[in-house]
A and B are shown apart, each in its own frame.
Chain A
Amino acid sequence: MSLKQRMFKERFVEVLLLLCAAVSIVTTLGIIFVLLKDSIGFFSKVSLWEFLTDTQWTPLFEDAHFGILPLLSGTFLITVIAILIALPLGMSIAIYLSEYADRKVKKIIKPFLEILSSIPTVVFGYFALVFVTPLLQSFIPGLAGFNSLSSGIVMGIMILPMVASLSEDALNAVPNSLREGSYALGSSQVQTAFKVVVPAASSGITVSLILAISRAIGETMIVAIAAGQQPRLTLNPLVPIETITAYIVQVSKGDVPQDSLGYQTIFAAGLTLFVLTFLLNSISFYFNKKFRAQYQ
């Protein structure tokens, strides 16, 4: 093979790889374009003010209202419940794994966390609907068949491995000199873990929390199956609600005519969702950078 041929081959591979990288950029831009295009159609008929302040979301019915608040409150409610479950549990697991557990125990626990994170979300959805909800109903009278409580709990379990493993990474990144310093001052293991290591890793833990929130907001299957399909502005976890994602699923499944206002609502809802998760991911990116800089 001549040198020329070889250089050509090198160049060819480089361009090929560049093209592959470009696919991700083009796809992202394409998605944003599609979201914006149909959202503009939507917002030319419904004012942004109405979208953000109306307290009812009934775009497909006779008395049509286009307030995103009920869908946002549903999403928010489920996310809060999920975080209430995932954060304390995930943190405890992370602290245990990083500060206490010896290798043998770690070897047992870690694979189980991975199994948990590899369960398909549709399975979690049915788990919430046919197991958790009836279980909760046995001691919470008035709990509806579709509700945000059981979906939130199950979603918390779903994002638990993510919180645990990212927080554990953050705790592990804390230099041992800090722990040794703490012990030298006479602190116990508990004091060292909670008063020295955890605060030192706080920005990493924040990142894990934000990514978990972002995941919970975008999660679709669990809420579509178990949380209900009734947009309502409430913080009551016992009644059926609808999240942004579940609404999009519901409308996409039906046969709402294209280019109708009802069809465009899913793009406005999708854009809202995109803005939310984009903001959260940006914040976590910022924290991540700050956190890395600290110990380098």
Chain B
Amino acid sequence: MSRCVGCKFAWISAWLVCLCLFGACQRNENLIIIDGSSTVYPISEAVAEEFLKLEADATIAIGESGTGGGFKKFSRGEIQIANASRPITESEIEACLANNYPFIELPVAYDGLAVVVHPDNHWVDSITVDELRKIWEPGAQGIITRWNQIRSEWPDQEIRLYGAGVSSGTYDYFTEAIVGTKRSSRGDFTASEDDNVLVQGVSQDVLALGYFGLAYYEENKSKLKALAIDDLNDENGKGAVLPSFENVNNASYQPLTRPEFIYVSANAINPMIEKFIHFYLTESADLVKEVGYVPLSEETYQLVLQSFENRQTGSLMTRRNNVGVDLSQLLKEAAK
């Protein structure tokens, strides 16, 4: 009996495979291929999932070969949308234009990080970027172990560190923004790819200091205390700035915020892609929050949508530091 069930199963699988292959061979106007950053992947994935509920005909394939890998395929016309956790570079722009694939640049969300301590920690409310660097740089390993080593008025007690694990995008980003070099960090801290573990750790440890995605802080506000960050640059907000969706959106919470983008191949736009992008820019705010990122303000989404509808190609971000941009300001200037 069991053999027969096995046979049936095998037959059905074989048929399914054939059907899939057949479907893929047909030139499909309804197929959208997305690739690129693994940081943006969860957003695009969530949006695609919701979109497919409305558009049963659409097929969306999303890869995550990294921002650079995504742009490489994009410039060869293999994909229609590139996910990117940084703006496109000059050389990537050249490659796209050389192959005649102009692009439309669309910011879709912010990625923000919160630096947090235990709610009963009464000695620290804000911290400077220099102090954070002193704590997290590789040279601190085994040396910076007490609170008063960072600021002398802080208590002579152990500092217990919690941070992102080495395979998370959060780790890349935090080390780049704070230490200055990507993937350069001390190693003697509680490291986890799972932000919930870090929330748990910091919320139960009075001597803790940790960092993770802003959305996790927002979700667990009652158990944590976020620190205001002072980047010692008064141009983007004076003094230390607390992390919040608002401060992320007005670009004053720096340097732990960066925008995330999708790039659409302007020549590849068909009705289905048009619908998808429209859906992406109008319906994604809640999804963005759900997957752990900070949505743009409603106004900014509106501006981004406008630049898509005007088919405004090129990048507003070139030769700009990814860290510290006020998107709505930038988009308004561009629209003029």
- A residues bordering B, Cβ < 8 Å? 56, 58, 60-65, 129, 133-134, 137, 141-142, 144-146, 228-232, 239-240, 250, 253-256, 262
Count contacts on B: residues with CB < 8 A to the other chain: 32
Chain B, interface SS category: loop
Please tell me if the beta carbons of A145 and B183 are within 8 angstroms of each other in the complex.
no
A134 to B204, CA, bound (A): 8
Give the Cβ gap from A144 to chain B, nearest Cβ, in Å.
4
Residue of A whose beta carbon sits closest to that of B165: A254
Please tell me if the beta carbons of A61 and B166 are within 8 angstroms of each other in the complex.
yes
Please tell me if the beta carbons of A146 and B201 are within 8 angstroms of each other in the complex.
yes
Please tell me if the beta carbons of B207 and A144 are within 8 angstroms of each other in the complex.
yes
Please tell me if the beta carbons of B138 and A145 are within 8 angstroms of each other in the complex.
no
A146 to B199, CA, bound (A): 11
Let me know if B271 is at the binding interface, CB within 8 A: no
Give the Cβ gap from B220 to chain A, nearest Cβ, in Å.
13
A146 to B187, CA, bound (A): 17
Residue of B whose beta carbon sits closest to that of A229: B190
Residue of A whose beta carbon sits closest to that of B184: A62
Residues of chain B within 8 A of A228, CB atoms compared: 190, 201
A-B contacts, 7 of them at CB < 8 A, read A58-B141, A60-B166, A60-B187, A146-B204, A228-B201, A229-B197, A230-B161
A231 to B204, CA, bound (A): 19
Please tell me if the beta carbons of B208 and A58 are within 8 angstroms of each other in the complex.
no
Among candidates A62, A144, A255, residue contacting B204 with C-beta atoms closer than 8 Å: A144
Residues of chain B within 8 A of A146, CB atoms compared: 190, 200-201, 204-205
Among candidates B167, B168, B185, B193, residue contacting A62 with C-beta atoms closer than 8 Å: B185
A160 to B192, CA, bound (A): 31
Give the Cβ gap from A73 to chain B, nearest Cβ, in Å.
14
Please tell me if the beta carbons of A56 and B188 are within 8 angstroms of each other in the complex.
yes
Residues of chain A within 8 A of B206, CB atoms compared: 141-142
Please tell me if the beta carbons of A133 and B160 are within 8 angstroms of each other in the complex.
no
Please tell me if the beta carbons of B193 and A63 are within 8 angstroms of each other in the complex.
no
Let me know if B272 is at the binding interface, CB within 8 A: no
Give the Cβ gap from A226 to chain B, nearest Cβ, in Å.
10
Give the Cβ gap from A284 to chain B, nearest Cβ, in Å.
34
A232 to B190, CA, bound (A): 10
Q: Chain B 169-201 against A: per-residue CB contact (8 Å), 1 yes, 0 no?
A: 000000000000001111111111100010011
Please tell me if the beta carbons of A240 and B201 are within 8 angstroms of each other in the complex.
yes
Residues of chain A within 8 A of B207, CB atoms compared: 142, 144
Point out which of B168, B191, B206, B207 has the most chain A C-beta atoms below 10 A from its C-beta: B191
Let me know if B209 is at the binding interface, CB within 8 A: no
Among candidates B166, B167, B189, residue contacting A230 with C-beta atoms closer than 8 Å: B189
**Which B residues between 52 and 90 are near A, CB-CB below 8 angstroms?**
none
Residue of B whose beta carbon sits closest to that of A241: B190
Residue of B whose beta carbon sits closest to that of A231: B188
A240 to B158, CA, bound (A): 12
Give the Cβ gap from B233 to chain A, nearest Cβ, in Å.
26
Please tell me if the beta carbons of A63 and B138 are within 8 angstroms of each other in the complex.
yes
Please tell me if the beta carbons of A254 and B186 are within 8 angstroms of each other in the complex.
no
Give the Cβ gap from B41 to chain A, nearest Cβ, in Å.
13
Residues of chain B within 8 A of A232, CB atoms compared: 188
Residues of chain A within 8 A of B139, CB atoms compared: 63
Give the Cβ gap from B193 to chain A, nearest Cβ, in Å.
5
A62 to B166, CA, bound (A): 10
Q: Given that A62-B138, A254-B166 are known contacts, is A145 also in contact with B191, CB under 8 Å in the complex? A: no
Among candidates A63, A240, A254, residue contacting B167 with C-beta atoms closer than 8 Å: A254
A232 to B189, CA, bound (A): 9
Among candidates B158, B167, B191, B202, residue contacting A239 with C-beta atoms closer than 8 Å: B158
Let me know if B6 is at the binding interface, CB within 8 A: no
Residues of chain B within 8 A of A63, CB atoms compared: 138-139, 141, 186-187
Residues of chain A within 8 A of B201, CB atoms compared: 144-146, 228, 240
Q: Given that A58-B187, A229-B192 are known contacts, is A137 also in contact with B204, CB under 8 Å in the complex? A: yes
Residues of chain B within 8 A of A240, CB atoms compared: 160, 190, 201, 205
**Which B residues between 236 and 254 are near A, CB-CB below 8 angstroms?**
none
A128 to B237, CA, bound (A): 44
Q: Given that A56-B141, A129-B200, A254-B193 are known contacts, is A144 also in contact with B160, CB under 8 Å in the complex? A: yes
